[in-house]
Structures are given as C-alpha cells and as structure tokens.
Amino acid sequence: MKDFGLKKLYYSISEVSKLTGLEQYILRYWETEFDQLKPGKNRAGNRIYTNKDIKLILQIKKLLREEKYTIEGAKKILNSSASEAAFEFKNTENLKEQKIFEHSSLKSDLEEVKNFLIELKSLI
C-alpha cells in the first residue's frame, strides 16, 4: 500500500475517497457488493475505515479498473485469495503443531537416554 502520509487507525469516507481517488457513492456501493468490505461505524453512525479496508479498496479498484474484471470476477478473485490465505494459515498452524510434537517426542527420547545412562552408571 502507498504511504498516504496519514498515520491513523481510522479514516472517514471523505478521507478514503481522496486517498483512493474514488467517489464516496462508489465506496458505499462496493460495500453492498463485496462481503469483505465492511467498514465499522462510529457513535455518530459514520463509516470508519481501517488501513486494511483501504488496502482492500485499492485491490478492488485494481481488479475492476486496471485488470478489467467484472464485479463477479473480482469477487471470485477475492474469495480465492481469502481461501488461499486461510489454507496458508492452516498449513502454518499444522507445521507448528508438528514441530511441537517432534520436539516433545525428541525430549522424551532424550529422557529415556538419560535414564539409561543413569542405570548404566549405577551398574559400573
């Protein structure tokens, strides 16, 4: 994502409109089309966008405007990206679990060797 110069947790729809070069009505419309785009609302009921929301908006803009996908095509791309990210996360978690298991298995093997050496020492 570009460095927008603003370092905030939340951005208003007018700020996001300026940052992304998109009209506010387009941002509101995309919320109805893309399930992933759900900005929060403040106490006054105004939309508040995070940096993650802005990255998603820029990704949608690129798919629709530069790569010429239809809205349906862009949805499929975003959904497959989300699926791939979930798959990557699951694989990473599985690897962590496997390493923990291997570590605990190795630890118990070392414990057995230690006990064997203690017994052997007592026999000598």
CATH classification of the domain holding 35: 1.10.1660.10
The model's pLDDT over 49-104, given as tens digits with 9 standing for 90+, comes to: 999 999 999 999 999 999 999 999 999 999 887 656 665 666 666 666 666 666 66
Buried b or exposed e, range 5-32, using 16+ CB within 10 angstroms: eeeeebbbbebbbebbebeeebbeebbe
Q: Are residues 63 and 83 in the same domain?
A: no
Q: Are residues 10 and 64 in the same domain?
A: yes
Confidence of residue 124 (pLDDT cuts 50, 70, 90): confident
What local confidence, expressed as pLDDT, does residue 121 receive?
A: 74
The model's pLDDT over 7-66, given as tens digits with 9 standing for 90+, comes to: 789 999 999 999 999 999 999 999 999 999 999 999 999 999 999 999 999 999 999 999
What local confidence, expressed as pLDDT, does residue 3 receive?
A: 54
On whether residue 73 sits in a domain, the answer given is no
What local confidence, expressed as pLDDT, does residue 31 receive?
A: 97
What is the pTM assigned to this prediction?
0.63
Examine the fold and report which residue of 23, 45, 68 is the final residue of a domain before the chain moves on. 68
| The pair of three-digit structure tokens given for residue 59, joined into one six-digit string | 């990704």
The model's pLDDT over 102-115, given as tens digits with 9 standing for 90+, comes to: 666 666 767 777 77
Kindly tell me if the per-residue pLDDT of 2 is higher than 60. Answer: no
Q: Is residue 39 a contact partner of residue 31, using CB atoms and an 8 Å limit?
A: yes
How many structural domains is the chain composed of?
A: 2
On whether residue 121 sits in a domain, the answer given is yes
On whether residue 60 sits in a domain, the answer given is yes
Q: Residue 97 belongs to what domain range?
A: 79-124
